[in-house]
Amino acid sequence: MRGLSMAEVRERLERGQGNAMPSDTGRSFWRIMQANLFTLFNLIVGGAFALLLVLGYWQDALFGLFVIANVVIGVAQEFRAKITLSRLAVLNAPRARVLRDGATVETPTPEVVLDDILVLAAGDQVTADAEVIEAHGLDIDESLLTGEADPVASGPGRELMSGSTVVAGSGLARVIRVGGDSYAARITAEAKQFSLVRSELRGGIARIIRWITVLLLPVGAIVVNGQMQAVGGWAVAIESGAWREAAVAATASLIAMIPQGLVFMTSVALAVGAVKLAQHEVLVQELAAVEGLARVDMLCLDKTGTLTEGRMVLDAVEPLRSDALPAAAQAALAWMGADRDANATSRALVERFTSPPAERPIRAIEFSSRRKWSAVSFADGPARGTWVLGAPDIVLADVPDAADALALFDERATAGERTVVLARTDVVLDPPVEAPAGERLPEPDLPGELTALALVSFREKVREDAHETLGYFREQEVELCVISGDDPRTVAAVAREAGIRHDGPGFDARQLPDPDSDGADAALDEIMRTHRVFGRVTPEQKKAMVLSLQRLGHTVAMTGDGVNDALALKHADLGIAMGSGAAATRAVARLVLLDGQFSRLPRVVAEGRQVIANVERLAKLFLSKTTYAILFAVVFGALLWPFPFLPRQLSIVDGLTIGLPALVLALLPNIQRYRPGFLTRAARFCIPSGLVVGGTLISVVAYAYLGGYAPPVVQTTAVITLTLTALWVLVILSRPFTVLTGLVVVAAYAGLGVVFAIPAAVEFLQLGEAPAELVLVAVGASAIGSLLLEVMHRVVSRSDPR
């Protein structure tokens, strides 16, 4: 067998039949910039910002900093996600060995071509989909791709998936799919597609912004016309230059409608949550993921590496011939566990059996997934004879009187345990011989005259923190679903040991409906509605099961560590990867548990709840302001009255009533359980609150205008009225009071007095000196407005379903 010639390789590379992986993430940096920058909202606010700068009113243009900050945060978050996805790779072998012109050569993985002959040996990664054409004890580990824990014996004719690993033996395989057609590339291409985590906070705030954007245009027209008419009409305003002051007033009216700081403060709350989680070994790949787990009501778990530690432990040894296992048998098991060629299962024997024979064995046969047994033979000493450890149905196939042992094995297998038999024969094997050059020795035969001595049962080591962590989620009314590529019986046994209530064996995913058949989605939905433990699940089925749970109305989190979990993690509402898992899985996950500690998840839930509850409080604060600002704009525009604030005056009111308190409220401890519909609850609070605050201010301003007071005096009165009334909204939202929230409220009220006590501040804000009578009217009206806010809040609270 000579493989391809170099001329054939060049020809295939020219035809595009090389193994280069696709790199497109589906969203360019320019498109990310476009999506965040070129919006109608930014156009209106940015236009107002630019107008004030052109007119020279930079003091009134400070609101533009929030717009810039929001755009930068949005672009940075999405670009970081794009960079993470661009590094995603299922294949990590930089070079591959191939047969060309009769010689074995190394070539870069992208230059492997269709019909190349891969030369495979233990430790190699399969770099392209290939069909085995020659095998010598070839065992392939596909656990990261399929979830199947045991290596798969691969003989001629079997297809190998790119991304799998050779763990034993050697062989040759002809490449049948390369590049974008290969298994690894298909997983990579879908996993790399850009998407943002589903976020109720982000979605709700985006909806608010859309509503406000729609209102800005008609309300803006009313405001601009009203301000022009207030200075004598359009013609007079343009001729006299009064249009400049009218433009500033109109801008103040429009900007007051926009909850500029809400997006910014939400990002701050999420970022602080991400930093706090990082201190607990949880990496947040996208800020919105902090709130994600707090919303989850279905947690899907991979078995290996998530519920379990990924290693086997010895469970039980059941003697078959006597009440106790002979010392010689114990010594033989100790040798098998300590052997440097022992597989992961046999190595678990050293936990109990620690004293191997003093004699050196005359021959040892390592375990092979093709043979399903290993053996060691001693020529002398107490352990003289040959000891075989392997699958009972293979080792005991020709052993008389083995029916009881095989029945016991079937019982253990049904319980999900991995059980092998220890058998012995007096026959001593011949010493090993070397194979002639260029040849391989034939597979060894199972020794004859065997006697079964004991059944040895192993189980996967369940994480010590799994039971407590899963109990926490049950208490929080989060359903649990185990989805694994391993044997359904094993999956069910591990699930029961971890504390997941489940009767009977797991559901075998090979019985799931064909996705191309009619009614497949409905049939899958019915299965997912009633079953919670699944085995033999392929990566595509994992993804379909996550989508099915979402169709059933669940918010789904998926945990995993293998490439076989990548697609499910990608499509789940929240993907959680173990830090020790595959690089591709970590790249698509929204959260990574860096130390692999499953017990970190309750901390993530608590942090997410704090963020959601605090952002809901912030939304009520900011949207109350939006409501009364819209009311101001429409009323003053319709009455053709001058707007009673300059932008800088509104900025100081916002700072006292919203901005500075929001920094504290966003970070307060809060363990309130998540309830969907935060936007509805925010609206139920902010609309009546905004109407009360707006009505109070309009009444005082009308009194001042009708009393003939000058505009600076009216503006001073408006600042006092709005600040005192809006601060009661802060009082309501700061409950229950703590020392910290109490200080925030007191400082906000005191801040108003400080502003009026500093001459430089009064001059900068262009505030006039209001007579005592007008100040009393403002304070009295604010007190009445605060009382109405308190009554409204109590009514809304009693009617709020909990």
Q: In whole angstroms, what is the distance from residue 532 CA to residue 726 CA?
A: 50
Helices (H), 309-366: 327-338, 344-347
Of 60, 129, 297, 302, catalytic: 302
Q: In whole angstroms, what is the distance from residue 485 CA to residue 537 CA?
A: 4
Burial (CB count within 10 angstroms: exposed 0-12, middle 13-18, buried 19+), residue 703: middle
Q: Largest Cα–Cα distance of the chain, in whole Å?
A: 118
Under 8 Å between Cβ of 385 and 425: yes
Under 8 Å between Cβ of 671 and 606: yes
595 is catalytic: no
DSSP three-state, residue 366: strand
Under 8 Å between Cβ of 464 and 309: no
- Tokens 């429009």 found at: 254
Structure tokens at 655: 């700072």
Q: In whole angstroms, what is the distance from residue 698 CA to residue 657 CA?
A: 18
707: Cβ contacts below 8 Å, ≥ 6 apart: 774
Under 8 Å between Cβ of 254 and 48: yes
Dihedral angle computed from the Cα positions of residues 484, 154, 399 and 442, in that order, rounded to the nearest 10 degrees: -150
For strands 451-462 and 385-390, give the pairing: unpaired
Helices (H), 23-63: 29-37, 40-55
CA nearest to 253, candidates 290, 216, 279:
216
Q: In whole angstroms, what is the distance from residue 13 CA to residue 148 CA?
A: 34
Under 8 Å between Cβ of 136 and 171: yes
Structure tokens at 507: 């559901």
Under 8 Å between Cβ of 408 and 318: yes
Burial (CB count within 10 angstroms: exposed 0-12, middle 13-18, buried 19+), residue 394: middle
Give the number of other CB atoms < 10 A from CB of residue 253: 28
Crossing angle of the two packed helices 466-475 and 601-639, in degrees rounded to 10: 30
Residue type, 720: I
Give the number of other CB atoms < 10 A from CB of residue 553: 8
Q: Express the helix, strand and coil content of the chain in percent, nearest 5 each.
A: 55, 15, 30
Q: In whole angstroms, what is the distance from residue 51 CA to residue 254 CA?
A: 13
Is the link from the previous residue into 688 a cis peptide, with omega within 30 of 0? no
276: Cβ contacts below 8 Å, ≥ 6 apart: 607
Q: In whole angstroms, what is the distance from residue 60 CA to residue 72 CA?
A: 22
- Tokens 């998530």 found at: 306
**DSSP run (H or E) holding 731:** helix 711-733
Q: In whole angstroms, what is the distance from residue 164 CA to residue 172 CA?
A: 15
Q: In whole angstroms, what is the distance from residue 451 CA to residue 329 CA?
A: 12
- Tokens 């022992």 found at: 342
Crossing angle of the two packed helices 601-639 and 260-278, in degrees rounded to 10: 170
CA nearest to 401, candidates 452, 329, 355, 352:
452
Tell me the β-bridge partners of 135. Answer: 171
Q: In whole angstroms, what is the distance from residue 333 CA to residue 566 CA?
A: 39
**Active site positions, annotated:** 302
